[in-house]
């Protein structure tokens, strides 16, 4: 165990894209766990778009303090423990932050043996649960309905879309490259995929969803949200999961100009935060695990090595360089 703890902290709040100036790299002494605490050696960091909000302002969680490690989910092993519930050798997932070591006294989940770290952080992690609960509890798809997913090759979108497929829906995904689109239809089993960077999105959505969209799972916001609302079916639902197209805006972008469609189509648009569903994660992980085992659900990861590369890994979310779950391996 190292006596020093390398960290990446918040140097300044981002305006627009979170560039290197927002991050400071430092080293502090490795903390010693106090009574009831345990020390975790971090092995993987979960790199998520929501971190952009935490860096900038209060959201559903207070903003990260300047000088504090970047708030982040992470997976690691207990290396020192004063807590019988978390003995040395236990693998946990918790809010480790971007650093090599973190202490906890509670508030972490034990990762069961036999689950590889990359699965624990993706399909069985926050992003998988986000896709699961967002689609099923907010979108409430019914077999035979049409489900459109944006950010469909991302960690959450790919899970949401595949679950919709498992539930008997026609599933269309939006992604930003032909390679991602090929992955969606050839590997993930989507019925159709739209490259939003090269196609006329409005027309492509209309053609791929001729009976309208019953559930739109929105990870991006912006023009694609407007296009999806414009093609909503009667009693269509819009699941507001994220709006990555807007997180780096220097000032707020206009919203969809066609909310009247929600009236004439009796539509529902609803946001959610996966934290509210974590008490039901056992049920979700059981179902997700069975689908993975049966070959009905696949996942892919985008693993970047080295804590020092966490900012670059984070940037991949916004440039769309990743297919699947972005994570950093320490």
Please, what is the minimum distance in Å from the beta carbon of residue 320 to a second copy?
Answer: 20
- Contacting range for a second copy; rule: CB under 8 A; set: 75-83, 140-148, 267-275, 322-330: 267-275
Q: Environment class of residue 26 by beta-carbon count within 10 Å: exposed (0-12), middle (13-18) or buried (19+)?
A: middle
State whether the Cα torsion 217-64-4-90 is positive or negative.
negative
Q: Write the CA distances from 269 to 17, 49, 138, 144, 236, integer angstroms.
A: 27, 21, 9, 20, 9
* CA–CA separation, 164 and 226 (whole Å): 22
Range 90-109, binding a second copy (CB under 8 A): none
CB nearer to a second copy: give 117 or 242.
Answer: 242
Please, what is the minimum distance in Å from the beta carbon of residue 266 to a second copy?
Answer: 6
Please, what is the minimum distance in Å from the beta carbon of residue 311 to a second copy?
Answer: 23
Q: Which of 8, 228, 269, 326 binds a second copy (CB under 8 A)?
A: 269
CB nearer to a second copy: give 244 or 330.
Answer: 244
* CA–CA separation, 306 and 289 (whole Å): 29
Strands 146-149 and 213-218: parallel
Q: Which of 77, 83, 109, 258 binds a second copy (CB under 8 A)?
A: 258
CB nearer to a second copy: give 138 or 184.
Answer: 138
CB nearer to a second copy: give 8 or 129.
Answer: 129
Please, what is the minimum distance in Å from the beta carbon of residue 123 to a second copy?
Answer: 22
- Contacting range for a second copy; rule: CB under 8 A; set: 34-42, 123-131, 149-157, 271-279: 271-279
CB nearer to a second copy: give 40 or 135.
Answer: 135
Q: Write the CA distances from 40 to 21, 90, 91, 307, integer angstroms.
A: 28, 9, 9, 15
Please, what is the minimum distance in Å from the beta carbon of residue 295 to a second copy?
Answer: 33
- Contacting range for a second copy; rule: CB under 8 A; set: 33-41, 98-106, 144-152, 262-270: 262-270
Our finding on whether 255 is near a second copy (CB under 8 A) is: yes
Cα–Cα–Cα angle for 231, 235, 239, rounded to 5 degrees: 75
Nearest by Cα to 78 from 101, 107, 44: 101
Nearest by Cα to 238 from 266, 276, 210: 266
* CA–CA separation, 219 and 176 (whole Å): 13
Please, what is the minimum distance in Å from the beta carbon of residue 58 to a second copy?
Answer: 9
Range 182-221, binding a second copy (CB under 8 A): 221
Please, what is the minimum distance in Å from the beta carbon of residue 265 to a second copy?
Answer: 7
Q: Write the CA distances from 259 to 84, 145, 222, 255, 256, integer angstroms.
A: 54, 22, 13, 9, 6
Q: Write the CA distances from 8 to 60, 161, 193, integer angstroms.
A: 22, 34, 37
Our finding on whether 59 is near a second copy (CB under 8 A) is: yes
Our finding on whether 137 is near a second copy (CB under 8 A) is: no
Q: Which of 21, 89, 107, 257 binds a second copy (CB under 8 A)?
A: 257
Binding mask 106-125 for a second copy (x = CB under 8 A): --------------------
- Contacting range for a second copy; rule: CB under 8 A; set: 21-29, 90-98, 155-163, 259-267: 259-267
* CA–CA separation, 279 and 294 (whole Å): 25
Q: Give the position of tokens 């960290």.
A: 7
Task: Give the interface with a second copy as residue ranges (CB under 8 A).
Answer: 53, 59-60, 221, 225-226, 240-243, 246, 252-273, 276
């Amino acid at each position: 165990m190292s006596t020093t703890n390398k960290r990446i902290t918040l140097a300044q709040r981002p305006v627009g894209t979170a560039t290197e100036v927002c991050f400071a790299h430092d080293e502090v002494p490795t903390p010693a766990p106090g009574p009831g605490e345990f020390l975790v050696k971090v092995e993987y960091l979960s790199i998520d778009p929501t971190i952009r909000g935490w860096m900038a302002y209060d959201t559903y969680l207070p903003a990260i303090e300047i000088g504090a490690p970047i708030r982040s989910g992470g997976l690691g092993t207990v290396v020192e423990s004063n807590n019988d519930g978390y003995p040395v050798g236990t693998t946990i997932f918790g809010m480790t932050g971007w650093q090599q070591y973190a202490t906890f006294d509670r508030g972490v989940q034990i990762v069961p043996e036999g689950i590889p770290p990359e699965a624990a952080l993706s399909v069985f992690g926050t992003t998988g649960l986000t896709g699961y609960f967002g689609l099923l509890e907010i979108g409430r798809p019914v077999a035979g309905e049409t489900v459109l997913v944006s950010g469909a090759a991302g960690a959450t979108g790919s899970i949401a879309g595949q679950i919709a497929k498992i539930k008997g829906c026609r599933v269309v995904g939006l992604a930003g490259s032909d390679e991602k689109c090929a992955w969606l239809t050839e590997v993930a089993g989507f019925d159709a995929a739209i490259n939003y960077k090269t196609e006329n999105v409005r027309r492509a959505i209309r053609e791929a969803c001729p009976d309208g969209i019953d559930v739109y799972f929105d990870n991006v916001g912006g023009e694609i949200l407007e296009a999806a609302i414009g093609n909503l079916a009667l009693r269509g639902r819009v699941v507001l999961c994220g709006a990555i197209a807007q997180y780096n805006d220097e000032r707020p972008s206009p919203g969809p100009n066609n909310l009247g469609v929600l009236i004439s189509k009796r539509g529902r648009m609803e946001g959610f935060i996966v934290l509210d569903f974590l008490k039901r994660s056992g049920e979700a992980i059981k179902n997700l695990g069975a689908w993975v085992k049966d070959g009905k659900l696949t996942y892919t990861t985008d693993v970047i090595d080295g804590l020092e590369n966490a900012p670059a890994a984070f940037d991949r979310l916004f440039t769309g360089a990743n297919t699947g779950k972005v994570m950093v391996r320490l």
